[in-house]
Structure 1
Amino acid sequence: MTSTTVTSRKILPTTLAAALAAMLMVTGCSKQNNEETAATDTQAETAQSGNKTKTSAAEQANIDRLILSYSDMVQAAYQDSLDTAKVLQTAVNTYVATPTQTNLDAAKAAYKAARLPYSQTEVFRFDEGFVTANDKRAIGSIDGWEPQLNAWPLDEALIDYVSDGYEGEYNSKENIINSDSITVGSLKQDTKTITPEILAKMNEIGGSEANVTTGYHAIEFLLWGQDTNGVGEGAGNRPFSDYLTTDGQCTSGDTINKDVSICERRGQYLKAATQLLVDDLTAMQAQWQPDSENTLRSDMMARKDTNGLRQILYQMGSLALGELASQRMQVAFVTGSTEDEHECFSDLTHLSYANNALGIQNVFNGSYKTVEGKTIGGYGIKQYLIDTNHKDAADKLTADFKTVEDAFNVIVDKGENENIKVDQMIATVGQASKQGISAEEQNVRRGWIENAINGLKELTTGIENAASALGIDNLDADSGSQF
């Protein structure tokens, strides 16, 4: 990456409809912090407007079924995320032990597979203003837990070697892999031994959200390396020799290192980051086990009659507009910045986009399809709307989701089958012309992204309208930032 702009998510005082009417939503990177979210008590109090004082047996059955189905889907999605992360860990361990192109390709394939279920969990993240404080609970909220797994963009110069033209916040030649200690601002950190604990401690070192040392994207960078192709074809192309520990064969890109310690440390880092990923997902998966106590699931069950419904709708709207349409897509689309695509090293952004959208649709339909093909859930917002006499709102959202699905299907098809990746789709006409792409063709490519953004915006309006129909007059979902 060559630049980093980070903003924090906050709940705007306006409704989503007002935000949509104002202008295109654009903001920086999607990495979040939780300091600016609404207070739990305020959210819970406001949520009462969406729940009737007296609830009939049928109404109670509907909300019970909704919350149970939702919780089962959360549990299944995190179980899939954990299981695929373990497969990734096995592939990484094999690759580090025996660095070959075949083993590198296998680790990359395992990374790609691991991202698919995790990307569908991101709709569950937006819970900070809803969960009840509980000192006995191991994880306070998904929102507070998530940055260690999915923070981006990261300042890769802090981790490993970068190209000569790299421009980031961290610009020292010393990095975690090539040095026994690094200094960030006034902080000096011992990096002699690279462990999951050290990486977790260093995440966001110096208070900079760009100083990401953990999670999927650190692993992605260590497997692919920098993508120096800009808006041209091609992803990162880190050679497998970056992990060779034979004298005279250990490389850092085109450079042959004098000794093998750098390649040994690179392997240590990759294994430590993957172990931490598995550990974190293990902890989250445990939070959603049925009949558990002092967990996020038990808390959701306890709140089902107060702010459970509001939380679910808030999460759907926040991922659709504030996160996916605004922070992940529109920033890159408006600026033509490849640094703002979510999987910028591997060029797998088309899949993370589509699976983020699918995660929202899963909650609407009340159906999550596991990696093994089993359907989990059975009752979602769609059926809840129908059962509470709001079929028109359900039908409108069904149509909106179809529009969004169709738009992302195009993006995925182009990325998977025609090798036209998101970094090529977001290029401005001027940037594309330098790659030999005509203005007419590039406007078609940009139209694929624009259609998806517009579909998400319309979808969010439908979510807000559905919330209003259910008595939640001001959803206040995250609507991103304006410029």
Structure 2
Amino acid sequence: MKRISQIVSTALLGGLLSTAPTFAHADTVTAKAVMEQYVNLASASFSDTLATAKTLQAKVAAFIANPSADTQQAAKDAWLAARKPYSQTEAFRFGNPNVDALEGEINAWPLDEGLIDYVKQDVYDHEEGNAFATANIIAGKDNIDTALLKASQEKGGSEANVATGYHAIEFLLWGQDFNETPTTSGQRPYTDYAKGDACTNGHCERRAAYLQVVTDLLVADLQQLADDWADGKDNNYRSAFLTLDEKEALRRMLFGMGSLSLGELAGERMNVALLAHSQEDEHSCFSDNTHNDIAENARSIQNIFNGTYTRTDGSKVEGASLAQLVASKDAKASETLVNKLADTQQKAEAIVEAAQNGENFDQQIAPDNKDGNKRIKATITALRSQTGDIEAAAKAVGVESLNPESSDSFGG
């Protein structure tokens, strides 16, 4: 995963919100209360992410035990469901070193899929000079275990060598997306996991082993993050966060929101793909789920500013918010940011709506799709426009510099 320093050098930050919270009076909200709600949001978000990953793990095991079109589809559906809460955790990444340290292992992309498995060479676009772009671990002899996958991650110094995380699982379930029709995603046959003579494309047992190991590793990583934010655990990251100086804690919140909004979402995840008109640069390219990634990333920023999170069971976590705290210091700054964040969310949802009507993100970024390009550009512009407003919000609560050049700049 490229750092935001590769996309942004001097710009500041942006965020997302639809409506300001109304469950408490702004002038009664304290920074400490906002910090408490922030860790509650993180705990609920990562708890849901872990739970849906465990469901994915069970569906993957069922698919491996009995490969069929139905069990493969069930695993795919579980992957899609797992992405929704995970994508809503990503605004916690940049401001918190515990999350950022695992992000590459959990969510790195884009990947040179030839590192992992067979590819159709005439449509395989890999990073130039990547010596391991066709290593094909599954066709190899090395024992497939967690150690091998971790050792293969960014092998040879190339970020395109992604051996772990959601997108490695996505590739193993869907396969390459040849974009044969606008609405078709990857079409890996379930027989790639079949037993005996029914096996297609060879090495089915090793492919199944890889899929199981990579899924188990994802669950283990998410368990660590859920534990980091859980209430009632001694000496975890949650307890450390609550002892931070209030301004430093607020800076981390705002830094995480803005870094996802500007450098990562507007830049890396949208503008890079749009400028290159490249399916290879879209976030979830094998499953064509990129439109949902975008909308849920935007919602991640919204959740933190609004102090709310809707759990996968429909229940809501809500409490003191940054929006209220900012409003208590500078009502205009809060109101302006609320309005811009609402506009951004609306534009992101337009991308989702187009995808639901059969025009996936890879079609919307095509060079001859003027309306699709316009839709993507509008969302990027809205995300960028939030920059000055979130900086103003930060200043309102006493945070003078967010230092956004690198996601490593959050400090110790």
Q: Please give the TM-score of this superposition, normalised by the length of structure 1.
A: 0.77
Q: Which amino acid aligns with 1:219?
A: I
Matches within 5 A, 1:215-234: 215-229=165-179, 232-234=182-184
Contact 2:247 2:398 in 1 (8 A): no
Query: Which one of 137, 158, 164 corresponds to residue 214 of structure 1?
Result: 164
Offset of residue 86 of structure 1: 0.5
Q: Please give the TM-score of this superposition, normalised by the length of structure 2.
A: 0.90
Matched, 1:164 2:164: no
C-alpha distance after superposition, 1:75-123 (max 9, x if no partner): 0000000000000011101111111001111110000000000001000
Partner of 1:407: 347
Matched, 1:457 2:412: no
How many Å separate the matches in 1 of 2:399 and 2:260?
18
Tell me, what secondary structure is at the counterpart of 1:419?
Answer: coil
Partner of 2:311: 370
Considering Cα pairs closer than 8 Å and 6+ residues apart, tell me whether 1 or 2 has the greater RCO: 2
How many Å separate the matches in 1 of 2:372 and 2:11?
31
Partner of 1:419: 358
Contact 1:15 1:476 in 2 (8 A): no
How many Å separate the matches in 2 of 1:399 and 1:63?
23
Aligned-residue Cα RMSD (Å) equals 2.2
Matched, 1:250 2:195: no
Offset of residue 199 of structure 1: 1.2
**Alignment gaps of 5+ in structure 2:** 15-25, 408-412
Partner of 2:242: 301
Query: Which one of 25, 40, 46 corresponds to residue 78 of structure 1?
Result: 46
How many Å separate the matches in 1 of 2:82 and 2:179?
25
How many Å separate the matches in 2 of 1:308 and 1:478?
18
How many Å separate the matches in 2 of 1:151 and 1:458?
27
Change (3 A) 1:200 1:174: closer
Offset of residue 164 of structure 1: 1.9
How many Å separate the matches in 2 of 1:347 and 1:445?
15
Change (3 A) 1:462 1:338: same
How many Å separate the matches in 2 of 1:233 and 1:15?
36
Contact 1:390 1:469 in 2 (8 A): yes
C-alpha distance after superposition, 1:19-38 (max 9, x if no partner): 9xxxxxxxxxxxxxxxxxxx
Partner of 2:68: 100
Partner of 1:44: none
Q: Which amino acid aligns with 1:409?
A: E
Q: Which amino acid aligns with 2:177?
A: D
Partner of 2:20: none
Matched, 1:8 2:3: yes
**Alignment gaps of 5+ in structure 1:** 1-5, 20-57, 132-140, 181-190, 430-441
How many Å separate the matches in 2 of 1:297 and 1:112?
28
C-alpha distance after superposition, 1:110-158 (max 9, x if no partner): 0000000000100000125xx6xxxxxxxxx211111110011111101
How many Å separate the matches in 2 of 1:171 and 1:305?
46
Contact 1:244 1:251 in 2 (8 A): yes
Contact 2:185 2:287 in 1 (8 A): yes
Please, which moves more after superposition, 105-114 or 232-241? 232-241
How many Å separate the matches in 2 of 1:15 and 1:461?
9
Tell me, what secondary structure is at the counterpart of 2:38?
Answer: helix
Offset of residue 251 of structure 1: 0.6
Matched, 1:114 2:114: no
Query: Which one of 238, 261, 272 corresponds to residue 213 of structure 2?
Result: 272
Contact 1:221 1:345 in 2 (8 A): yes
How many Å separate the matches in 1 of 2:249 and 2:135?
48
How many Å separate the matches in 1 of 2:27 and 2:242?
16
Change (3 A) 1:472 1:92: same
C-alpha distance after superposition, 1:17-76 (max 9, x if no partner): 8x9xxxxxxxxxxxxxxxxxxxxxxxxxxxxxxxxxxxxxx9996111100000000000
Matches within 5 A, 1:309-320: 309-320=250-261
How many Å separate the matches in 1 of 2:4 and 2:185?
29
Matched, 1:474 2:381: no
Q: Which has the higher helix share?
A: 2
How many Å separate the matches in 2 of 1:221 and 1:303?
40
Contact 2:113 2:133 in 1 (8 A): no
Offset of residue 174 of structure 1: 4.4
Tell me, what secondary structure is at the counterpart of 1:161?
Answer: coil
Contact 2:131 2:156 in 1 (8 A): no
Matched, 1:241 2:191: yes
Query: Which one of 120, 144, 148 corresponds to residue 194 of structure 1?
Result: 144
How many Å separate the matches in 1 of 2:104 and 2:28?
35
Partner of 2:137: 176
Change (3 A) 1:444 1:462: same
Partner of 1:45: none
How many Å separate the matches in 1 of 2:292 and 2:37?
25
How many Å separate the matches in 1 of 2:169 and 2:375?
29
Contact 2:112 2:133 in 1 (8 A): no
How many Å separate the matches in 2 of 1:172 and 1:13?
30
Partner of 2:18: none
Contact 2:132 2:155 in 1 (8 A): no
Change (3 A) 1:348 1:325: same
Tell me, what secondary structure is at the counterpart of 2:121?
Answer: coil
Partner of 2:56: 88
